[in-house]
Homo-oligomer: A and B are copies of this chain.
Amino acid sequence: MKENIPDKVINRLTLYHCILQDYIAKKDEYISSKQIASLLHIDDSQVRKDINILNNSGKSRVGYNVKDLKISIESTLGFSKTKRAYIIGAGNLGTALANYDNFANYGLNIVSLFDNDPDKIGREINNKKILDIKDLPVYVWQHYVDIVILTVPVQYAQKIADFLVNTGIKYIWNFTPAVLNVPQDVQVWNENLMGNFLQFTYDIK
């Protein structure tokens, strides 16, 4: 089923999920497509269309049942399958991501961080140990991870990427502005902040 969901819909569904978490925290039981649409400044017919692709039976006269809808989104998007990750680079961005507890709600389990700075190695961030980057090949071999999150300074990005590829890593979530040269069987997701910035601010005169 999920194979057929376009990226933009996946993106919107995760935003609906954030809204539902908020409603659950406020102990609201129902939510309408209009309420979701209004928060995201989109059309409510779009919201209904997105929700229709879920296996969701929680619609009633007063709206969608918040908890049912949340579970539908989670099962459709596969939140329940936990993915293990290392963060490479324990600078400010790596630290921010290691502290981001919301990840666990989406099935992302950050196991530990790696850095080459002796002052950082051995410390903990949010109960995750900072390990020596030199030991990464051994760790990857002993404790398999699905992805690595790359948050090193841009000038080291390619060198570290080469190293990661050699250890057998197949998924790199790239937060650096470097475009990485990797083999075809390695997937890179470029967290292209500048592209987003230019799209977002494009109509500022």
Q: Return chain B residues, CB-CB under 8 Å to A187.
A: 200
Q: Is the CB of A108 within 8 A of B15?
A: no
A204 close to chain B: CB less than 8 A? yes
- Counting chain A residues whose Cβ lies within 8 A of the other chain, the interface size class is 35 or more
Inter-chain contact B146/A14, CB cutoff 8 Å: no
30 contacts between A and B (CB under 8 A): A7-B199, A10-B195, A10-B198, A10-B199, A11-B195, A11-B196, A11-B199, A12-B195, A14-B195, A14-B198, A15-B190, A15-B192, A17-B194, A18-B178, A22-B179, A78-B198, A79-B198, A83-B201, A83-B204, A92-B96, A96-B96, A100-B193, A106-B197, A108-B197, A146-B204, A147-B201, A171-B200, A171-B204, A189-B199, A189-B200
Per-residue CB proximity of A169-197 to B under 8 Å, as 1/0? 00101000111110010011111111111
